[in-house]
Structure 1
Amino acid sequence: MLSLGIALLTTIVVAWLIVKRMKPQAVLFAGGFFLLAVAILMGVPLLDAKKSTGLVWFDIFKFVEDTFSTRAAGIGLMIMTVGGFAKYMDYIGASRSLVHLASKPLSLIRSPYLLLAVSYIIGQLLNIVIPSAAGLCVLLMATMYPVLVSLGVSRLSAAAVVATTPCLDLGPASGTAVFAAKTADLDVADYFVGEQLPIAVVTMAAISISHYFIQRYFDRKEGVEAKVLQAAPVQEGEQLPPSIYALLPMVPIILVLMFSKLCITSIKMPVVTAMIISVFLAMLMELIRTRHPKEVCKSIQVFFDGMGHLFATVITLIVAGETFAFGLTKIGAIDLIIQGAQSSGFGAVGVTLIMTIIVAVAAIIMGSGNAPFYSFGALVPDIAKGLSMLPATMITPMQMASSIARSASPITAAVVAVAGVADVSPVDIVKRTAIPMGIALLVSFLMAVIL
């Protein structure tokens, strides 16, 4: 219990400092280092013998090095290329061209908040075929976000909606959905159609409606005036590129969707590959339009600068968050929570509720729902059998909670990525996503129990 108390106290201090707008990276690293130091004093090894430096105190920093290496080459590279692509689209005027054209039909929706509600549904449906939460968010920040802002939606409202578009991990492309299906001894397609879909439809409607009212409330509270939607005007003296440039910001999404399970399955199209292809296509079009090879070649620096900016602001925060989560794990806090849930003595619904809440809280604290969900999910078959209930009934709300709660965490990769591109605070975004995600947790749990 001592380790749980230390973990809880450290988490409260870290959360308080972040709310007080201390540099999140420094606070999370400090919290993680403290927890790892306590773990070392408790005699807990941090790394496997093959990865260890030979001195356990140095292993704290070796973990940071390994995490930087892994994230920079994985999700970090994806986030950086998408951010660089968004910067390049701004530089050549493609984003402005897209906004100008797209604002005309979208302006038929007169209410900014109705537009937000519809935008969430569109983004959530895209998440089924673009399962990367951070990847989808930054794609939408390069396409949907500028359109929403140009049509009168406040930056924070638009960012909050984008940050919640991947809050339901649905379909066979989702790793947690596949794990849940296997744990419930169901085919992945059957799990999606029979277990996830009925719950998701109602939950999506609840989130969409809640965004309408919550974002309007926060805008009014903060004195943000909702504008009447109208087509984005061309400023005097502004030269828009050819209309075909409006398609360029959409190229990555088109490539990712085309070469997916929806269309062509024989070709794989990772997000990073789609971004690089799109940038070079844009450079080719710039060369044709301007006929200045030297300037076009020079312009690629905009892409690289955009990547570097997101590394400094986003990737560092992801690594800091994972360091803190690693500290919570090594000190034994997560294991104690799991053991407590197993021995609670509640009925089927009560145990399911407790496990769902714990997964959600852990996801908010750790910035990712994967670790707590996989830990608890492995226990479901035995617990469900002892309670005479179907494993699917227990694991489905847990799986939903692992992704819903993620969108209410200021250190999750998707929220941090959105904040970085929108140039706002992750904490300010989470203030606007917390209530919709709380409603989503409640609705998804009730639907799982009822169905």
Structure 2
Amino acid sequence: MVGFLIGLLVTICVGWLIIKKYQPHTVLLLGGLTLLGLTVLIAPETSILFKDAKSTGWIGFDLFDYVKNTMSYRAAGLGLIIMAAGGFAKYMDEIGATNAMVSVCIKPLQLFHAPYVVLALGYVVGQIMNIFIPSAAGLAMLLLVTFYPTLVRLGVSRKAAAAMIGTTAVLDLGPASGASNMAAKTAGLDVAVYFASYQVPVAVFSIITISVLTYFTARYFDNKEGHVATVTASSAPEGQQLEAPSKLYAILPLLPLTLILIFSKLLVSSIKLDVVTAMIIGVFVGMLFEVIRTRDFKSIFKGVMAFFDGMGHMFARIVSLIICAETFAAGLKTIGAVGFLTTSAQNAGLGFTIMTLLLCAIVAAVAILTGSGNAAFFSFGNLAPDMSAKFGAEAVSMLLPMQLTAGLARSISPVAGVIIAVSDAGQCSPIDIVKRTAIPVLGGIVITLLVSVFFV
């Protein structure tokens, strides 16, 4: 009980500081170190420092040695996957392959003459593109330059177009997603299996729900604000149209996922190909395309630095967050907060399903408050295996709804980077955007929870 109360107090302090816009990385790290330090004092027999870790000889150094060990473990495993995915995405931007893919995917939608149908279908296309372009803000910026002017020209209001674009990455799908990789690793699954066997079946229902609600919500708010859907002659560009080097480049962002799915337990199991290797292969194929197109070897060699720059950016923003969040989660575990919560849930007869829904609610609240789905999921995702084991369930049954809920909730946060970005294009406030995304996203959360908790 004492451990739970201390854990609750520290968690409240951590949440308050994050709400006050203190850097989440530092807050989570200090919160974790505080909990680990207090565990040594009040319950040394349960301290993680006295289990597998070798002591430095002084307990004060052991706390920081634990962080070092976590950093080494994560940077070499999940962290490398996330960094490689980020580097690959940056290189695809550098050579124009991402722009080519956006242009190819968006063009068929321009043939429709029903603006709100195009808007709804645009979400579906954007969500599929998110599998290959894992950055919510990055995908949004590309769509704002390419698809946004088309929607406005067809007669959709600026707010409706901006809000839809702000939801295109809500489900955080695919092997290129950091959250997906963490969920798969934590559940002990191959990332291709997690994506194809768990994410996709749930995502199909969620995508349909969000798309339909996007259609009706956009029409409702546009009518309420007196907007009339009229085709305009102006292209209404908010910036210059992105140029793609060749439509053939559109296949490059698809290459790693294609290779991962082919050479996995799903198809060709005799050959094993992991995410990092697939990303590196994708970079080298991109180099070959550039050689054929430009023959400027000095420029091509320099361009590959975008891959390494992208890796560094992902370490600084995402991998470091995972390390800090894992330290915080370890503190909650060792001090007894998680054990008390699980035991209380079991004694109260809440059951695995209610516990899963409770964790999803916590993750959603943190995502809304912080504007980061990763911060929310990485902070609590590591708790899922132990909790599910106590109920005799598979970890993926708890991790899947938590991971998808975190991404969904991000799009109803007025402080999320992607929402702020699209609100600027929509010439409105983030609150105006959130009003429009709330119904589709909440509907998506309900369907995601129902399907993942009761049918997967």
- Please tell me the residue identity of whatever aligns with 1:14: V
CA distance in 2 between counterparts of 1:52 and 1:216 reads 63
Residues 1:62 and 1:354: Cα distance change in structure 2 (over 3 Å)? same
1:72-151 pair list within 5 angstroms: 72-108=75-111, 110-111=115-116, 113-115=119-121, 117-119=123-125, 122=128, 138=134, 146-147=142-143, 150-151=146-147
Contact residue 164 and residue 407 of structure 1 kept, 8 A: yes
Paired residues of 1:53 and 1:59 also in contact (CA < 8 A): yes
User: Alpha-carbon deviations, 1:79-119, whole Å to 9, x = none?
Assistant: 21222122222222222222233321133464464135424
1:54 matched residue in structure 2? 57
Match of 1:336 among 335, 340, 353: 340
Distance 1:11 1:214 in 2: 36
| Selected match of 1:251 from 240, 252, 255 | 255
Partner of 1:68: 71
The verdict on how the C-alpha distance between 1:209 and 1:76 changes in structure 2, with shifts beyond 3 A counting, is: farther
Q: Structure 1 counterpart of 2:390, which letter?
A: L
Inter-CA distance 408–9: structure 2 relative to 1 (3 Å threshold) = farther
- C-alpha separation in 2, matches of 1:339 and 1:308: 41
Paired residues, what number?
397
Deviation at 1:337, TM superposition (A): 0.4
Percent pairwise identity = 37
Query: Are 1:162 and 2:165 matched, yes or no?
Result: no
Query: Which residue identity does 2:40 align to in structure 1?
Result: I
Contact 1:149 1:158 in 2 (8 A): no
Following superposition of structure 1 onto structure 2, how do residues 394-409 of structure 1 map, counting pairs within 5 Å? 398=398, 401-407=401-407
On the 8 A contact 1:329/1:335 being kept in 2, the answer is yes
Kept in 2: contact 1:82–1:139 (CA 8 A)? no
SS at match of 2:48: coil
- Report if the CA contact (8 A) 2:377-2:402 is conserved: no
Partner of residue 377 from structure 2, selected from 352, 355, 367: 367
State the alpha-carbon separation in 2 of the partners of residues 100 and 358 from structure 1: 41
1:310 Cα deviation from its structure 2 partner = 1.6
Superposition deviation, residue 32 in structure 1: 1.3
Offset of residue 219 of structure 1: 12
Indicate how the Cα distance of structure 1 residues 113 and 41 shifts in structure 2: closer, same or farther if over 3 A, else same: farther
Letter in 1 for 2:81: M
Q: Which residue of 2 aligns with 1:326?
A: 330
Q: Using a 3 Å threshold, how does the CA distance of structure 1 residues 247 and 120 change in structure 2: closer, same or farther?
A: closer
Give the Å deviation of 1:279: 0.8
Normalising by structure 2, we get a TM-score of: 0.68
Deviation of the 1:437 alpha carbon: 6.8
Structure 1 157/268 Cα, relative in aligned 2: closer, same or farther at 3 Å? farther
Structure 1 residue 340 displacement after superposition? 0.5
Do 2:124 and 2:211's aligned partners in 1 also have CA atoms closer than 8 Å? Answer: yes
SS at match of 1:29: helix
* Aligned residue in 2 for 1:260: 264
| Deviation for aligned residue 1:336 | 0.3
Deviates more, 1:154-163 or 1:303-312: 154-163
- TM score, norm. by length of structure 1: 0.69
Which amino acid letter does the alignment assign opposite residue 28 of structure 1?
L
Matched, 1:315 2:319: yes
Please tell me whether the aligned partners of residues 28 and 327 of structure 2 are also in contact (alpha carbons under 8 angstroms): yes
